[in-house]
């Protein structure tokens, strides 16, 4: 038997209901915020991710799926969404459009070769937004608010934004120098990956999952002490706007994010949910003002966030484990002979076009078996067809809750069903 690759999974049944629910809620909220949908390729030129994400990051050095196609081109399955959106922004000259900034949202699969664990897979699904063309702190607050409200709309409460700033290039470089001086005497107390990061990207040591609770990192200097006045004022403005938007946040100087392209605002969104442990981080993002120009486009500021659908599904299933998913149908149409089935076929289509969730029998079951099937499908109303009634222009409707039955004129059946649901 052929089985699915390690780190992947099939989405069906209740999981599919959660998956579609998350995507639908997210898309609806993005449309309210006037974000446009964008879809980028699942694989891109390897240079796109190696340059944008950074050669020294774990994603590129350990986790990307790199391969050559039959034309000997180096390609990579996308490990994250931002780089592809930025590439599309440049290639399609979106920066030349009249309406700016460009506000985009996406949903799709990403690929990372990492150890599968709860809410984290090698094939993962993400939702995310990118805003390109504005450096306003208001946009920072809007993006964070959009992510925050999306989780609340899904019923995920006790949500907190952990926010930090990396400052501008000058602030970041000053902090980097101070961090190097502090960490150098303590390298032997850090993991082997952090010892490598010390030489390539020391800020990423603060993002280490192995050493995150070590005294060395707890006592590390704070970026807040190395911000210049402009960066400090910008960060204060972001926090002020979040206050106006009633977004719960806490400043956490250890939030640095794992990708090289971030500057200024960076954030993670967590939820206080028992039994989730490290899986309580439900989304993250930040500002990347230099990425567009780094990839060959015009100097364009940007900010975005992404959230893993797989982890959101895990959270929603945990929150609703004692609740039954409402997966019933509205109407089940019953028929046993050819004349009745022809009528049923047309009636089912008409009800569906009226946005009524409707089903019928396709296995030539008897009436008794169809009643059982309707119960399994949790049908709210039954329409029971028989040839004698049809000759009189009538149809029997049964309320599956009250068990009451009524004869309805076939010309009025649609209005009756809709008014009684």
pLDDT tens for each residue of 177-194: 888 888 888 777 778 777
Reference 258, options 189, 212, 311; nearest CA is 212
Domain 13-168+228-319: assigned CATH number:
3.30.930.10
- The secondary structure of residue 120, as a DSSP letter, is B
Of residues 256 and 107, which shows the higher confidence score? 107
Give dist(CA 380, CA 382) in Å, integer: 7
Query: Rounded to the nearest 10 degrees, how much is the dihedral formed by the CA atoms of 314, 318, 324, 327?
Result: -10
Question: Is residue 214 very low, low, confident or very high in pLDDT (cuts 50, 70, 90)?
Answer: confident
Give dist(CA 62, CA 127) in Å, integer: 23
How many helices (H) and strands (E) in the chain?
15, 16
CB 53 within 8 Å of CB 259: yes
The gap between the terminal CA atoms of the chain, to the nearest Å, is 45
Give dist(CA 52, CA 83) in Å, integer: 6
Of residues 279 and 386, which shows the higher confidence score? 386
Give me the mean pLDDT over the 341-365 stretch: 96
The residue count for the chain: 421
Sequence-ordered alpha helix ranges (H) in 245-307 = 291-294
Give me the mean pLDDT over the 209-224 stretch: 78
pLDDT of residue 239: 97
Q: Which long-range contacts (CB under 8 A, 24 or more apart) does 286-290 make?
A: 286/166, 286/257, 286/262, 287/140, 287/262, 287/263, 288/82, 288/261, 288/262, 288/263, 289/135, 289/263, 289/264, 290/169, 290/261, 290/263
CB 172 within 8 Å of CB 221: no
326 pLDDT above the threshold of 80? no
Percent of the chain with pLDDT over 70: 94
Give dist(CA 108, CA 121) in Å, integer: 14
Reference 203, options 228, 232, 223, 229; nearest CA is 223
Give me the mean pLDDT over the 129-153 stretch: 97
290 pLDDT above the threshold of 70? yes
Domain 331-419: assigned CATH number:
3.40.50.800
- Taking each helix axis from N to C end, the angle separating 309-319 and 13-32, rounded to the nearest 10 degrees, works out to 110
pLDDT of residue 60: 63
| pLDDT tens by residue, 355-372 | 999 999 999 999 999 999
217 pLDDT above the threshold of 80? no
**Residue-range domain boundaries for the chain:** 13-168+228-319, 331-419
Question: Is residue 340 very low, low, confident or very high in pLDDT (cuts 50, 70, 90)?
Answer: very high
14 pLDDT above the threshold of 90? no
The lowest-confidence range among 53-57, 280-284, 293-297 is: 53-57
Which three-class secondary structure string do you get for 375-415? HHCCCCEEEECCHHHHHCCEEEEEECCCCCEEEEEHHHHHH
pLDDT of residue 192: 78
The lowest-confidence range among 91-95, 222-226, 294-298 is: 222-226
Reference 46, options 58, 33, 56, 60; nearest CA is 60
């Amino acid at each position: 038997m052929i089985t699915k690759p390690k780190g992947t999974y099939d989405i069906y049944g209740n999981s599919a209901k959660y998956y579609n629910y998350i995507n639908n809620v997210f898309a609806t909220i993005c449309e309210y915020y006037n974000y446009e949908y964008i879809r980028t390729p699942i694989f891109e030129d390897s240079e796109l991710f190696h340059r944008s994400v950074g050669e020294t990051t774990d994603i590129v050095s350990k986790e990307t799926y790199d391969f050559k196609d039959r034309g000997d081109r180096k390609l990579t399955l996308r490990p994250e969404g931002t780089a592809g959106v930025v590439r599309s922004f440049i290639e399609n000259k979106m920066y030349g459009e009249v309406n700016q900034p460009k506000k985009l949202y996406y949903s799709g699969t990403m690929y990372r070769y990492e150890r599968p664990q709860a809410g984290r897979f090698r094939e993962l699904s993400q939702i995310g937004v990118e805003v390109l063309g504005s450096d306003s702190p208001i946009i920072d607050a809007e993006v964070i608010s959009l992510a925050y409200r999306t989780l609340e709309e899904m019923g995920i409460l006790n949500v907190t934004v952990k926010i930090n700033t990396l400052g501008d290039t000058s602030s970041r470089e000053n902090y980097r120098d101070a961090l190097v001086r502090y960490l150098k005497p303590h390298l032997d107390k850090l993991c082997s990956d952090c010892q490598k990061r010390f030489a390539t990207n020391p800020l990423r040591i603060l993002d280490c999952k192995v050493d995150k609770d070590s005294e060395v990192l707890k006592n590390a200097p704070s970026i807040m002490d190395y911000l210049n006045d402009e960066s400090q004022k910008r960060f204060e403005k972001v926090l002020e706007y979040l206050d106006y938007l009633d977004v719960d946040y806490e400043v956490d100087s250890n939030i640095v994010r794992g990708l090289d392209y971030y500057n200024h605002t960076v954030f993670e969104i967590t939820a206080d949910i028992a039994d989730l442990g490290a899986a309580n981080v439900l989304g993250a993002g930040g500002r990347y003002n230099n990425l567009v120009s780094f990839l060959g486009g015009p100097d364009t500021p940007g900010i975005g966030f992404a959230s893993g659908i797989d982890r959101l599904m895990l959270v929603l299933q945990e929150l609703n484990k004692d609740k039954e998913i409402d997966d019933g149908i509205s109407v089940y149409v019953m028929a046993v002979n050819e004349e009745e089935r022809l009528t049923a076929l047309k009636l089912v289509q008409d009800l569906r076009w009226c946005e009524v969730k409707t089903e019928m029998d396709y296995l030539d079951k008897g009436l008794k078996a169809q009643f059982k099937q309707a119960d399994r499908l949790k049908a709210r109303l039954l329409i029971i067809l028989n040839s004698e009634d049809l000759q009189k222009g009538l149809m029997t409707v049964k309320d599956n809750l009250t068990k009451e039955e009524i004869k309805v004129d076939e010309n009025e059946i649609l209005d009756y069903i809709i008014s009684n649901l």
